[in-house]
Structure 1
């Protein structure tokens, strides 16, 4: 589906831009621990941006259906919740933001399981 390819490409762009910002703009401004938190957000952002591209490609092979469609949306929501909360936590040092991160992680896990179910169902 075109929307997941577009979301994947936009999020890959954002992951690269945010990674460069972190490496060049935040070094020396954040503690080493918070810089690591930020880097984790960037890593998972990129992994799942590529996951969205994969879902877009699988959509063509697997055909339209609820399982792969939900996998894409959950992956996108996971990026927002997981990476977004880590970006906000690292820059604000407001620890309660860390409570949001596991919801994003669960969205990632469910998305990947849905990819497996969609593939098993069709292939």
Structure 2
């Protein structure tokens, strides 16, 4: 599990840099300001959580269910949140908005919140 978290974190980080450059140089010409801001939000959240996964991969042993669930929340939350935003932005720019992705974004956001809540709980569980 440690290696999976580190590899996924590194891949998400790599893709965040790639998508950020793509947005800044290629999509800037074809997306509205609002769509470009949304795309950048997806990139930012992806990078934040990529870095978090790498840090967790080096600091946790993933010997407990809590740590494993936390990692899965961050991985799947990032994929659902950021990649649904990318899909919505790119499909909107082509005039065929993929509306089915609309509900996916908040599900990804809820998974990210759950991951952060589990991380918080892991810190205070020994105190309470």
Which TM-score applies when normalising by structure 1?
Answer: 0.91
Q: CA RMSD in A?
A: 1.5
Question: Match of 2:59?
Answer: 58
* 1:119 counterpart = 2:123: yes
- Answer whether contact 2:87 2:98 (CA < 8 A) is retained: no
Aligned match for 1:108, one of 69, 94, 112: 112
The structure that is helix-richer by fraction is 1
Matches within 5 A, 1:1-123: 1-60=2-61, 64-93=63-92, 94=97, 96=99, 97-121=101-125
Q: Distance in 2 between matches of 1:121 and 1:3?
A: 25
Deviations 1:49-72 (A, max 9, x none): 111112212313xx5111111111
Q: Distance in 2 between matches of 1:28 and 1:43?
A: 20
Unmatched 5+ residue regions in structure 2?
A: none
Q: Distance in 2 between matches of 1:88 and 1:28?
A: 17
* Number of aligned positions between the proteins: 121
Q: Distance in 2 between matches of 1:24 and 1:54?
A: 30
Which TM-score applies when normalising by structure 2?
Answer: 0.87
Q: Secondary structure at the match of 1:27?
A: helix
Q: Distance in 2 between matches of 1:52 and 1:71?
A: 10
Unmatched 5+ residue regions in structure 1?
A: none
- Answer whether contact 1:37 1:86 (CA < 8 A) is retained: yes
Measure how far apart 1:28 and its partner are: 1.2
